[in-house]
Structure 1
Amino acid sequence: MTIFISVMLPVLLVFLIGYVVQKWRKVDIKPISTLAIYILTPALVFETFYYAEMNMQYVYMVVFAAVLLFAIILINKLYAWKMKYRQDVESGLILSTAFMNSGNYGAPIILFAYGQEGFAFAVSFMVLQAVIMNFFGVYYAARGGSGVKMALQVLLRMPVTYAVLLAVLLKLLGAEVPDNLMQPVELISQAAIPTVMLILGMQLAQIEWTKFDWGKVSFGVILRLFISPVIAWGITLLMPLDPLLAKVLIVAAAMPSAATIVMYAVEFDAKPKLVSSITLITTLLSVLTITIILMILG
């Protein structure tokens, strides 16, 4: 109960504010999302990578993300083959289970649970997941050759891509950013997490309650909330990870489906109702499952 009150409740209250405001005022999310994508998040990412001590732990993080992604994709493909689902259903299941909400949900949870050190790992993993989601997510939503081309275009349009590259380049060159330039970056970055949390609450308010296909939804929920963290735990046992990083990665792997992936499902007609259903249910149930995982991990 202490973990729920000290970690989960403050985050849920911010989500709730975004949800209520969206239901009440019907705010246009697009300009707020654009602000977060093009200004706030790049500032947070640049600051994190600029100050981070880059070492082999970040390499292990990349390996972890790749193994987890392909393990979940493989499980989806085997399940779709067994159930004789069409390719669009398989794509919808992959979209809603392979990509977790490590940004506007995972990062604040980890901040409250593990402090600034854990948060630095969480932001790095958030960037990695954004790259993966914006490439493989677009690919599985669009499928085929055009999917690959479009995925590359989306990846190159991501401001965080250039924020990471610039921060890493400055570190490699040993160049220091003057205080008068870093101060506005740090000031802007402080607004990133609360803003994206509010956006998630607003996004959830727009997901419609429809007649769910409970067979497919149940599979998606089990894979995203239960099997994914178990796979993550297994992967962490095989690598010499920092204990804190291992906890961060397991918690991140237990996050609900990424809300932004619903946009890809809608844009490319990759079973958007199924994807939004799994996103909604995993987000609601994650309040309980993440609390339990945090209690287990300590």
Structure 2
Amino acid sequence: MDILNVLQIVFPVFCVIAIGYIFAGIKEIDLDPVLDILIYITIPALVISSLSQKSFLPAELILTAISVIGVVLICGGLCYIYLRITRRTDLKGLYLPTMFMNSGNMAFPLAFLAFGSEGLSVAVLYYVSISILVYTLGIYIAKGTGGMKEIFRLPLIYAAAISIILNLAHIKLPAFVLDTTTMMGAATIPLMQISLGVRLRSTKISMISTSITASLIRIAGGVAAAYIIVTLLGIEGLNKKVIILASSMPAAVITFIMSHKYKVDSALVASTVAISTLISVITTPLVLLWLMTMD
């Protein structure tokens, strides 16, 4: 695939994010109702429609989860080394944006446009794994105590569990249920992208050098970690490409929300989210171009 085709994949994604950013400058937007619609309606619907239509082997589910855990821990390790070298171990909030990537807002549309519905299904699996880690390990980092209770408040966990069980049992959903979830799930991608643009509009940049370094750990570290892990685990084909793509995404917006809620370096986390997203405008096409050359 040549550069033009890669740009045709990337442009719509960043274009919709830009629309959200511009619109937020024209009109004041309350994101809370939109986020509620995403969390409680459209994301669970997307999980059901995506995972119900793709056949998964148990090993595939396990290897994807192991890959996600590995990428998160390696990036966390790189952040730890950086904070030790710079003698800024007090900035524990920096672990959040370096470890947890935007595997929803950006990875969903990119995986879909680059690899079709099959790619989106793998991205959804990746997202479910990341969500579990965010609401356990992420809360532990930010708050200092476990966050197991938070997992059971996420509808996507139940949607994923039901879908995976039905999938492994080879039970097909009735057509009207599948059509309904597909229709609702289709709203997820544009809503996520627009929400990201709106959120970036209110983000202020601070501690630029630290934010840039953290962004590079998140993106470059994520790519390197994912490539090493999928190679060691013997993951090939579409799964390999989507895992690497998702691991190359910028810092997740949820990390800013979490840092703000628990009052842990929220300005730095917000800055890292914004800068890593800007950097991804350059890195994402490069990663996609590389992935398209893989067998």
State the superposition RMSD in angstroms. Answer: 1.5
Cα separation, 2, equivalents of 1:101 and 1:123? 12
**2:35 aligns to what?**
33
Determine the structure 1 residue equivalent to 2:64: 61
**What residue number does 1:117 align with?**
118
Greater Cα offset, 70-79 or 156-165: 70-79
Q: SS where residue 85 of structure 1 aligns?
A: coil
C-alpha displacement of 1:174: 4.5
Quote the Cα distance in structure 2 between the aligned partners of 1:180 and 1:278: 43
* Distance in 1 of aligned mates of 2:55 and 2:95: 34
Any idea what SS the aligned residue of 1:75 has? helix
Matched position secondary structure for 2:105: helix
Structure 1 residue aligned with 2:49: 47
Q: TM-score by structure 1 length? A: 0.92
Residues 101-250 of structure 1 correspond to what in structure 2 (within 5 A)?
Answer: 101-143=102-144, 147-148=145-146, 151-209=147-205, 212-250=206-244
40-49 or 169-178: bigger deviation: 169-178
- Runs of at least 4 residues of structure 1 off by over 6 A? none
Partner of 2:80: 77
- For residues 12-64 of structure 1, what are the alpha-carbon distances to aligned partners after superposition, in whole Å with 9 as ceiling and x for unaligned? 11111111111111110000110011000000001122222121222111111
Give the share of equivalent positions with the same residue, in percent: 25
1:85 Cα offset (Å): 1.9
Show the counterpart of 2:99. Answer: 98
Would you say the 8 A contact 1:57–1:242 is kept in 2? Answer: no
3-state SS in 1 of match to 2:233: coil
- The code of the aligned residue for 2:214 comes to G
In structure 2, relative to structure 1, the CA distance for the partners of 1:176 and 1:243 (3 Å cut) is closer
Are the equivalent residues in 1 in contact too, given 2:223–2:244 (CA < 8 A)? yes
The separation in 2 between residues aligned to 1:177 and 1:232, in whole angstroms, is 33
**Contact persistence 1:3–1:294 (CA under 8 A):** no
Q: How many residues align?
A: 289
What residue in structure 1 maps to residue 16 of structure 2? 14
Cα drift, residue 125 of structure 1: 0.7
1:83 shift after superposition: 2.5
Q: Classify the secondary structure of the residue corresponding to 1:238.
A: helix
Amino acid at match of 2:108: A
Matches within 5 A, 1:287-298: 287-298=281-292
In structure 2, distance between residues paired with 1:57 and 1:175: 18
**Structure 1 residues 288 and 50: CA distance shift in structure 2, 3 A:** same
Q: Which amino acid aligns with 1:260?
A: I
Contact kept in structure 2, 1:50 and 1:171, CA below 8 Å: yes
Aligned 8 A contact 1:3 1:291 in 2: no
Find the aligned partners of 1:76 and 1:183 in 2 and give their Cα distance: 43
Unmatched tracts of structure 2, length 5 or more = none
Q: Is 1:284 the counterpart of 2:278 in the alignment?
A: yes
Provide the C-alpha distance between the structure 1 equivalents of 2:127 and 2:272, rounded to a whole number of angstroms.
Answer: 21
TM normalised by structure 2 equals 0.93
